[in-house]
Amino acid sequence: MGPTTRRNAERLAGNLLRLARIERGWTQAQLAAAAGITQPVIARIESGKVQPTLPTLCRLLAAADLDLRCRLEPYDDHDDVLDARAAQFPEEHRRAEQARDALLAAAHDAAE
């Protein structure tokens, strides 16, 4: 497992909670109230600072009336290939990340 796949796995719970909130149109405080926990716990999970247990993640999603469904799939090495390319061409990768970050910042600014 390469660094991108590992990073995505580490952010899975936080991303799922964020998606659940978007689906419901809720703030972190609203999800926390529905789940019976504090908002800072939601924030730490979404930031990746804390990894909840699977039962806790399921309980949080259930508070938003969502159910976590999992299935096993063959491993997709797409991110590993991209990681290898980034390692082979680090300057090109750095420029592409900077361009992506600038685009996201511009889109965020335009949305506000």
Considering the domain architecture, whether residues 85 and 58 belong to the same structural domain is answered as no
CATH code where residue 14 lies: 1.10.260.40
Q: What's the alpha-carbon Rg for the chain, to the nearest Å?
A: 17
The number of distinct structural domains making up the chain is 2
Q: Residue 51 corresponds to which amino acid? A: Q
Predicted local distance difference test score (pLDDT) of residue 80 = 87
Positions in the chain whose pLDDT score sits under 50: none
- 91 plus 56 within the same structural domain: no
45 lies in the same domain as 16: yes
For 95, counting Cβ atoms within 10 Å of its Cβ (0-12 exposed, 13-18 middle, 19+ buried), the class is exposed
pLDDT (0 to 100) of residue 3: 83
Tell me, yes or no, whether 69 lies in a domain. Answer: no
How far apart (Å, rounded) are the C-alpha atoms in residues 9 and 27? 23
Structural domain contains residue 54: yes
Give the domain extent around 35: 3-63
Q: Which residue has the tokens 């969502």?
A: 66
d(CA 54, CA 70): 11
- Please tell me whether residues 9 and 55 are part of one structural domain: yes
User: Which of the 8 DSSP states describes residue 3?
Assistant: H
